[in-house]
Structure 1
Amino acid sequence: MRGGRVRLLQAVDTELTADAVAWCPLRGRRHLLACGTYQLRAPGSAPASREAQSPPDASGPQTRAGRLYLYSFCGGRPAAPLAEAQRRDGAAILDAKWCHVPVAGSALLGLADAGGSVELLRLVESEDSSCTLQPVSSLGLDEQCLALSLDWSPGKLGSAGEQPLQIISSDSKGRLHLLMVHEEGSGLQRAASWQAHAFEAWTAAFNYWRTDVVYSGGDDGLLRGWDTRMPGTSLFTSKRHSMGVCSIQSSPHQDHVLATGSYDEHVLLWDTRNMKQPVADTPVQGGVWRLRWHPFRHHLLLAACMHSGFKILDCQKALEKQEAAVLVSHMMPSSLVYGADWSWLPSCSPQPGPSLAFPHSNERTRPADTATNKPLGPSLDHLVASKGEDHPRSPGTVNPLACLLPLTGEMSSNGSQLHTTAKAQDWDPDLQEANLDVSLLATCSFYDHVLHLWKWEVNGAQDPPHSQAEETAQCRQPVSVSQASLQDH
């Protein structure tokens, strides 16, 4: 495989169908992994039915139950490096994200659930080094709706500054909700709500560089931009995706870069200064439910592609080829991959470094709004396998993706073409001895109730030996965990 080797380290039985995973990005807590589950149950069904379930939907009489797992990674236990630290039953979980900055000295995890609420949980660390997540605040978005997604305004390291801490969330009625987080993290307050889509608003995300701008994607097939200073004011509406838009993430490394994914089985990369046409279009043969930029390798993008498994895209040469290169395509038969996230562990990631600056855009105006009420794609409970059209990029479109180059020493020789995206506070001493060619990632699959832990080794790279300090920091919860049989997958 030209993209190196992917090895399965562990498969954990989550009992309920798993659909969201999130590694903690905060230093000293990067060994922690949260996993959210979603289960449709008929009245009177068993709490942890092992029968095949339908994917999440936004309607129907079933009871939607869920469970939040907290796991701790310990590289010193190669047979089972993930250990369960906590499980917490509640409403079905549609999305889970950690805040990238500590709040009142603590790590906060946000959940969007099927009860129509956004909930905040604080990480509590006891004297024996055990960790638990304890609820501190919850806010209902609307009656009779599902909270489908959430995103934090500080989506990159060193991004807090003087800006207020905010969350953007979307729901099954097509609405967006802007929430303010109290400084101590102990409360949520609604700042604004507005109708964004005619059908389910599957996803909403901040522009991490201009947090008064948010993006949303809906089952009406629209990708839209919004100015939160004037709630409900649309900056643009794009119909470039041919089916429902499921995933959006602003690049945490480089301004103006946005990635979107859809049921149409395409990943689009955009220059946010010109949203008329994407700068790159990559078919991935599966509906794209999650997208995650690598925390340190600025040019790598992880995609959870439902029935097509997960893929790792290299955006380095997207400018030349008008599509990203698929480095890794890992199929997972008889499962739907809904969640995927990169690990922030320093033993598995390179230190921050310079990246190419953006070319200047000639676009000075925002595209005009368009609107449609026609459903262009199926709801999540009616997934289809048909591929979307591969639309060519219009000539002359500015492509900012030349900036997303590998973090290598040779780049520094280009002098004025370079700028350093990592601020002083972003540099992490733990990353100085990092292995450039090894990454950990986690995925979760729907039908088989499994959380998978993977190691991606570029060109057969080997892990460096763990130091005693690393082992002590990472081995926090040596609790046994049920492991699914690999023969079943």
Structure 2
Amino acid sequence: MQTARHAKLDTRLGADSVALLGAAETEGQVTRQRAVVGTYSLRNDKGDAPYRDGGLLVVSATREGDVCSLSMEQEVHDIPGVLDVAAQTSPGILYAACANDSFLAFGDIDGEGRFLHSLQKVREVEDPNRILLSVDVCEDPGSDDAFVASSDSAGGISVYRAVKHGWEPVIQRDTHTQEAWSVHIDVSREAMYSGGDDGALVCYDWNTDIECFRLRKAHGGVGVTAVTKNMFESREEGEFHLWSGGYDDVLRFWDIRFTKQCVSEVAVGGGVWRIRFHPKKKDLMLVATMYDGFKVVRRDCSDHLEVLCHYQGHDSMAYGATWVPALDRGDQHVALTGSFYDHSLQLWTFDDNP
């Protein structure tokens, strides 16, 4: 399967997280999709204690005919290092998990995509020694509210209900004994899933206050760095499905009713940092594999997992990743990915036509 790079931007600081913002816009032959990039840099030039500078960038990914391009729209700097971002579509709110235990929200106050003009704090800094490592948001289908979850460097997990007047805490608990690298929230089951450097993959029901399961060696005892469900599957298809990745370089597919062993797995190399499902091709995954670029993985009808392609356009650690389905054309799928030490954002295509 072929890949091709179409555009590249310098993000100035390390690009560690990428998420789409709002719906795509089409005018004539031009389709445009906004995305946000979270960045940070670890620095030591302000005294003895290291600190993390951060930034948020809003970029436009555009397709006109066969040409795909990237352009910068907005930038905000001088905030704590951004470790992860997630976007709520209605209303338009961007959440950023930051260093120094700060959790920020940016609102699209005028509906024009200017997310970075309206900053609010989900919570003030609680523990400056904690770093927020991941964030996830899931809209409540039964209301206009949403649930937002974050995980931190001390193993803590927090869930908030986002309502019109602010954010109401639902739960805050220390779930892992080491860094909680990833969190995923499932409103339909009132459950959250998390993975930590202690090697555990955990499911917690916040309604009953019960830990549903704890797989202590889900990835052979090494850190679990990515946990997610495929939210593009129907409730009937994906209710019991869960995906995880770890420092063992393996992507695993689980049935949460039978957790003694995974349903299937595939070695992807490099360590799995993020797993992103294609909204229209629900069995196609974009996987950020840290030390070994980005991979596209497919799950077939018998649950077999296969690595279809390897994108090697980045020169350092592969972190941020998202599909850009509005720019797809036929069997050509568009991805937007970020890497750290070379502070690079790249727009590239994967041709799913053997």
TM-score, reference length from structure 1: 0.65
Residues 309-348 of structure 1: pairs in structure 2 closer than 5 A: 309-319=293-303, 321=304, 324-332=305-313, 334-345=315-326, 347-348=327-328
Which residue of 145, 151, 156 maps to 2:136?
A: 151
Give secondary structure in 2 for the equivalent of 1:441. strand
Matched residues in 1 for 2:194 and 2:11: separation?
Answer: 30
Task: Say if 1:165 and 1:180, in contact at 8 Å, map to a contact too.
Answer: yes
Amino acid in structure 2 at the alignment position of 1:93: V
- Aligned CA distance change for structure 1 residues 208 and 286 (closer, same or farther; 3 Å): farther
Matched residues in 1 for 2:22 and 2:308: separation?
Answer: 24
Matched residues in 2 for 1:280 and 1:25: separation?
Answer: 33
- Aligned CA distance change for structure 1 residues 69 and 318 (closer, same or farther; 3 Å): farther
Task: Say if 2:314 and 2:339, in contact at 8 Å, map to a contact too.
Answer: no
> Which segments of 5 or more consecutive residues in structure 1 lack a partner in the other structure?
46-59, 349-434, 461-489
Which residue of 255, 259, 284 maps to 2:239?
A: 255
- Percent identity among equivalent residues? 29
Alignment partner, residue 444 of structure 1: 338
Give secondary structure in 2 for the equivalent of 1:153. strand
Matched residues in 1 for 2:150 and 2:36: separation?
Answer: 19
TM-fit CA distance, 1:228: 0.8
Amino acid in structure 2 at the alignment position of 1:76: E
Amino acid in structure 1 at the alignment position of 2:293: G
Amino acid in structure 1 at the alignment position of 2:211: S
Task: Say if 2:318 and 2:339, in contact at 8 Å, map to a contact too.
Answer: yes
Amino acid in structure 2 at the alignment position of 1:119: L
Q: Which has the higher contact order (CA 8 A, sep 6+)?
A: 1
Matched residues in 1 for 2:24 and 2:66: separation?
Answer: 23
TM-fit CA distance, 1:141: 6.3
Asked whether 1:459 is paired with 2:342, we answer no
Which residue of 197, 211, 220 maps to 1:234?
A: 211
- Aligned CA distance change for structure 1 residues 279 and 78 (closer, same or farther; 3 Å): same
Asked whether 1:94 is paired with 2:83, we answer yes
Matched residues in 2 for 1:177 and 1:109: separation?
Answer: 17
TM-fit CA distance, 1:442: 0.8
TM-fit CA distance, 1:293: 0.9
- Aligned CA distance change for structure 1 residues 130 and 241 (closer, same or farther; 3 Å): closer
Task: Say if 1:208 and 1:250, in contact at 8 Å, map to a contact too.
Answer: no
Residues 33-52 of structure 1: pairs in structure 2 closer than 5 A: 33-44=35-46
Amino acid in structure 2 at the alignment position of 1:145: R
Matched residues in 2 for 1:318 and 1:436: separation?
Answer: 25
Alignment partner, residue 204 of structure 1: 183
Matched residues in 1 for 2:160 and 2:315: separation?
Answer: 38
Task: Say if 1:213 and 1:228, in contact at 8 Å, map to a contact too.
Answer: yes
TM-fit CA distance, 1:78: 7.1
- Aligned CA distance change for structure 1 residues 138 and 71 (closer, same or farther; 3 Å): same
Matched residues in 1 for 2:298 and 2:119: separation?
Answer: 38
Alignment partner, residue 216 of structure 1: 194
Task: Say if 2:22 and 2:113, in contact at 8 Å, map to a contact too.
Answer: no
Deviations 1:269-307 (A, max 9, x none): 011222222101111111111111111101111110001
After TM superposition, what 4+ stretches of structure 1 lie above 6 angstroms from structure 2? 77-80
Greater Rg by CA: 1
Alignment partner, residue 254 of structure 2: 270
Amino acid in structure 2 at the alignment position of 1:456: F
* Backbone CA RMSD of aligned residues: 2.3
Amino acid in structure 2 at the alignment position of 1:118: F
Matched residues in 2 for 1:334 and 1:75: separation?
Answer: 25
> Which segments of 5 or more consecutive residues in structure 2 lack a partner in the other structure?
27-31
Alignment partner, residue 131 of structure 1: 114
Which residue of 69, 88, 95 maps to 1:110?
A: 95
- Aligned CA distance change for structure 1 residues 163 and 235 (closer, same or farther; 3 Å): farther
TM-fit CA distance, 1:27: 5.5
- Aligned CA distance change for structure 1 residues 80 and 87 (closer, same or farther; 3 Å): farther
Matched residues in 1 for 2:124 and 2:213: separation?
Answer: 28
Amino acid in structure 2 at the alignment position of 1:245: V
- Aligned CA distance change for structure 1 residues 110 and 162 (closer, same or farther; 3 Å): same
Asked whether 1:83 is paired with 2:71, we answer yes
Which one has a larger percent strand, Structure 1 or Structure 2? 2
Amino acid in structure 2 at the alignment position of 1:343: V
Q: Work out the number of aligned pairs and report it.
A: 339
Alignment partner, residue 390 of structure 1: none
Give secondary structure in 1 for the equivalent of 2:96. strand
TM-score, reference length from structure 2: 0.89
TM-fit CA distance, 1:440: 1.1
TM-fit CA distance, 1:455: 1.5
Deviations 1:201-249 (A, max 9, x none): 1111013542x11101000000000011144x31101122121011111
Alignment partner, residue 29 of structure 2: none
Give secondary structure in 1 for the equivalent of 2:353. helix
- Aligned CA distance change for structure 1 residues 132 and 223 (closer, same or farther; 3 Å): closer
TM-fit CA distance, 1:318: 5.0
TM-fit CA distance, 1:189: 2.5
Give secondary structure in 2 for the equivalent of 1:67. strand
